[in-house]
C-alpha cells in the first residue's frame, strides 16, 4: 500500500484526479471503476476541469460503478446513477453506453448480481478502481461481516451506514435498506486501486484498514493484500495513523 499524505480535501481531490488522468492518458480505453459518496465529488470536478481544458478525452473510456441502492431508479435524484450523471458523466464526453451501474430496479437479485459480474468480465476487468471508505471501513457497500463476499451481491445496509447516508435524504426513513454492490473479490481483481479519504470521521477506518488485521469486520483491510493500492488521504483522515507512529 502506498499512502500519499495530503493537507486537505482540495489537495486530495487534485492528486486523485491527477492519478485518474494519468490512467486515461496512458490507456484511452481504460476501464475505470467509479465510486459515489461525498468524497469523490471534488475528484470528479477536477477531472471535468481537465476535460474542459482539453487535457482529457473520455470517448473510449468505459466505466463500472461500485454500487447502487436497491429500489431506486436512475432518474431518482438519490440514486447513484443520478449522482454519476450529475457529478461526472453529463460534463465529459464519456459515452452513456460505456457506463455501467447495477440496476437498482431489478427485483431479481440473483439475476442482477450475475448480470453485473458478467458486465465486469466482458469489460475485461477494471484497470483503476476508485474507492471511498465508509466510517465503519466499508468499501462499495461491503459492510462489516463474517466473511468477504467475492462477487456482486445484495446487502442489507447497517444502521451506521443508513445514518451516515441519511444526510442526502429528506428523512432517514427514505434511505433504502438494501443495495447492490460489487464484492470485495470484484474490487480486488482491479489492476490498481485508488482509495481516497478525507476528514476526522474516517481516521479510525483508515488506520484499521491500513495497519490493523485483515478481517471482514473491516472490509477495506483486505486492500492490504493487493499489490497495487494507492491511498490519498488528508491530515485529518490520517490522524490516527500518525498518533500511532505508523506513518
Ligand atoms: C457510501 C458508498 C461508498 C462510499 C461511502 C462513504 O456508503 N457506497 O462507496 O465510500 O458512502 O461516503 P462519503 O464519501 O460520503 O463519506
pLDDT of 160: 87
Of the pLDDT bands very low, low, confident and very high (cuts 50, 70, 90), residue 146 is: confident
Whether pLDDT at 240 is above 90: yes
Taking the centre of ligand 1 as the mean of its atom positions, its distance from the CA of residue 175, in whole angstroms, is: 13
Reply yes or no on whether the pLDDT at 96 is more than 90.
Answer: yes
Is 90 exceeded by the pLDDT of residue 138? yes
CB 1, CB 231: distance < 8 Å: yes
Has 173 been annotated as catalytic? no
Average pLDDT estimate for 135-156: 95
Catalytic choice (46, 87, 103, 138):
138
d(CA 160, CA 213): 21
Question: Is residue 109 a contact partner of residue 14, using CB atoms and an 8 Å limit?
Answer: no
Q: Which atom of ligand 1 is nearest to the CA of 38?
A: 15
Mean pLDDT taken over the chain: 97
Cell of 103: 440496476
Residues 144 and 146: their CA atoms lie apart, in Å, by 7
Provide mean pLDDT across the span 188-217. Answer: 98
Closest CA to 100 of 78, 127, 118: 118
Instruction: Tell me which of 65, 67, 87, 112 is the catalytic residue.
Output: 67
Q: What is the DSSP string of 88-123?
A: TGGGS---GGGEE---TT---HHHHHHHHHHHHHHT
pLDDT in tens, 2-17: 999 999 999 999 999 9
- Segment 98-110 mean pLDDT: 98
Whether residue 202 is predicted with pLDDT greater than 90 in this model: the reply is yes
List, chain by chain if needed, residues with CB within 6 Å of any ligand 1 atom: 35-39, 66-67, 132-134, 140-141, 161, 165
Amino acid at each position: 500500500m502506498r499512502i500519499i499524505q495530503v493537507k486537505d480535501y482540495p489537495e486530495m481531490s487534485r492528486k486523485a484526479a491527477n492519478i485518474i488522468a494519468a490512467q486515461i492518458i496512458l490507456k484511452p480505453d481504460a476501464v475505470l471503476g467509479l465510486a459515489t459518496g461525498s468524497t469523490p465529488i471534488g475528484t470528479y470536478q477536477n477531472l471535468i476541469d481537465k476535460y474542459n481544458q482539453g487535457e482529457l478525452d473520455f470517448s473510449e473510456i468505459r466505466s463500472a460503478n461500485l454500487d447502487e441502492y436497491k429500489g431506486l431508479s436512475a432518474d431518482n435524484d438519490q440514486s447513484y446513477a443520478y449522482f454519476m450523471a450529475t457529478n461526472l458523466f453529463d460534463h465529459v464526453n464519456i459515452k452513456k453506453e460505456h457506463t455501467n451501474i447495477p440496476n437498482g430496479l431489478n427485483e431479481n437479485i440473483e439475476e442482477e448480481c450475475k448480470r453485473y459480474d458478467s458486465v465486469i468480465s466482458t469489460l475485461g476487468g477494471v484497470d483503476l478502481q476508485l474507492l471511498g471508505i465508509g466510517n465503519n471501513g466499508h468499501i462499495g457497500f461491503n459492510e462489516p461481516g463474517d466473511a468477504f463476499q467475492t462477487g456482486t451481491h445484495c446487502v442489507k445496509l447497517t444502521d451506521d451506514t443508513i445514518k451516515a447516508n441519511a444526510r442526502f435524504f429528506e428523512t432517514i426513513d427514505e434511505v433504502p435498506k438494501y443495495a447492490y454492490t460489487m464484492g470485495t473479490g470484484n474490487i480486488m481483481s482491479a489492476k490498481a486501486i485508488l482509495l481516497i479519504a478525507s476528514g476526522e470521521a474516517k481516521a479510525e477506518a483508515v488506520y484499521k484498514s491500513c495497519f490493523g488485521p485483515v478481517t471482514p469486520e473491516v472490509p477495506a483491510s483486505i486492500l492490504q493484500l493487493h499489490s497495487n493500492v494507492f491511498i490519498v488521504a488528508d491530515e485529518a483522515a490520517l490522524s490516527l495513523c500518525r498518533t500511532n507512529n505508523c506513518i
